Structure formats: structure tokens, C-alpha cells
A = this chain, B = another copy of it.
Amino acid sequence: MRPSGRAPDEMRAITIETGFTKHAEGSCLISFGDTRVLCNASVEERIPPWLRGKGEGWVTGEYSMLPRSTHTRGQREAAKGKQSGRTQEIQRLIGRSLRAVVDLKKLGERQITLDCDVLQADGGTRTASITGAWIALRIAIDKLMAEGAIKEDPITGQVAAISCGIFNGTPVLDLDYPEDSSAEADANFVLIEGGQIAEVQATAEGATYDEEGLLRLLRLARMGCDRIFAEQRNAVK
């Protein structure tokens, strides 16, 4: 029995509101149940120093949780003076995941930053961030193509992410916070439309799992992402 009453392979309601902010070149507010993340894509006509002269662009991600996006208030990282290890880990994952579906040569010498700010958290904020960031990126690149700044589409496919885990001995899809905090194993899958894997991060918590467990989680994730890919296409259509 899942705390939410969902079936093991049942995802939370997904809603996507594109254009949530007006300044960003691409923007959406994505929700997986009570988890809500604002994803903004910013296009800048500059590249990191180490890319200069290569004729390539760059795609990167940043992530933050508003102090009271969580059950109890967390201290602001800007006030602490540094980003936590968790924040940096997630930022790196977002950037890597998006770059898995972008041809940086075709992007040209510009940088796109995907800012993922969690307005409300209920588990799965990093996977919602990746999923929403792809939408914001797609919108921003469509705009660049409409303006003629880019000739050929640099996006090679869709990328989305979902968490799965073993909860009370059962593999379940799309963990919410109560599940996430007591699951025996917790895995985040970043998948690419068509069946390829961009990233797997599977961690045992307390108990461990075996090859069979890993495969069952992967299959749940694939099922979940197929539905997410459809939502993404619908949002940017």
C-alpha cells in the first residue's frame, strides 16, 4: 500500500504551464502532484572560457529550492554563502542530462542556462527539473530557430527523468516525499525517447538490491517516461 493510495505503477498528476514567466526565452511551471518546479531557459550570446574558439555552444543547469518549499524551512544557500553538495550534484545532473540530447556544434557559440527553482517540494524535484528543463529548452531553441539565429535543430531527441524505488518490498513508480524518505532503494533514471538510457543513479538505503531489482525499477521508469514524453510533446506543440 502506497501512502497516497496509488498503484505501484501509477504516476502522480502531471501539469505543465508554459510561459509562466515572461522574460525567459523558454519557461514552464511543471508539477508532479505537489512537487512544483519553475524551469526557465536563458539564452546568452557568450560561452564559458574553456570553449572559446571551438565553434560550439554550451548547455548547463542550475537548481535551488525556495527556503519554504519543504515541510520545515531550510536556510537560504545565499545566506550560508555556499551551495550544498546535494545542490551541486543535482545541477551537474541537469546539465549532463540536457546535453545528452543537444548537438553543441549546431547550437553555435551561445550558452543556454536552465534554471530549475523548486517552489514546492514533495519528492522527485530533480527528475521534475530535468523533465521541465527540456520543455524550456525546446521553447527557447524554437525561438532561436524562428528568429533565424540557428539554422538546424540542435536538439536530437527528448529527455525526461523519473524516480522509482523499492517501498515496503515493492517496486513503485514516481516516489513522493513520504515514500522517498522511507524507501529501501531509490533510483533516478534519465531516459531518452526511443529506449536509450542517459543516466542511472540507484542507491540502496538501509537494504540493498540485486540485478533483478534494478531491472524492475528500470522497466517501471521506462513506462513512466513514455507517458512523460507524451506530456512534453503536448506542452511544446
Residue in contact with A117 in the complex, picked from B23, B40, B44, B66, CB distance below 8 Å = B66
Q: 11 A-B Cβ contacts within 8 A?
A: A20-B119, A21-B36, A23-B121, A40-B68, A44-B72, A64-B78, A78-B82, A79-B83, A196-B204, A199-B203, A200-B200
> Would A120 and B78 be within 8 Å (CB), given that A113-B73, A196-B209 are in contact?
no
Q: Quick check: B68 and A44 within 8 Å, CB to CB?
A: no
Chain B residue nearest to A89 (CB atoms) is B89
Residue in contact with A197 in the complex, picked from B73, B86, B204, CB distance below 8 Å = B204
Q: Give the Cβ gap from A100 to chain B, nearest Cβ, in Å.
A: 6
Say yes or no for A223: interface residue by CB 8 A criterion.
no
Q: Which of A20, A80, A89 has the most CB of B within 10 A?
A: A89
Q: Quick check: B211 and A197 within 8 Å, CB to CB?
A: yes
Say yes or no for A42: interface residue by CB 8 A criterion.
yes
Q: Which of A27, A68, A82 has the most CB of B within 10 A?
A: A68
Given contacts A21-B69, A78-B80, 16 further A-B contacts (CB under 8 A): A20-B119, A22-B120, A23-B121, A40-B67, A68-B115, A77-B78, A78-B83, A83-B85, A86-B92, A192-B208, A196-B209, A197-B204, A197-B210, A200-B201, A200-B202, A200-B214
- Cα A62 to Cα B117 with chains together (Å): 17
The A interface is mostly helix, strand or loop, or mixed, namely mixed
- Cα A82 to Cα B89 with chains together (Å): 15
Q: Quick check: B115 and A66 within 8 Å, CB to CB?
A: yes
Q: Quick check: A44 and B21 within 8 Å, CB to CB?
A: no
Q: Quick check: B96 and A76 within 8 Å, CB to CB?
A: no
Q: Which chain B positions have C-beta within 8 A of A208?
A: 100, 192, 196-198
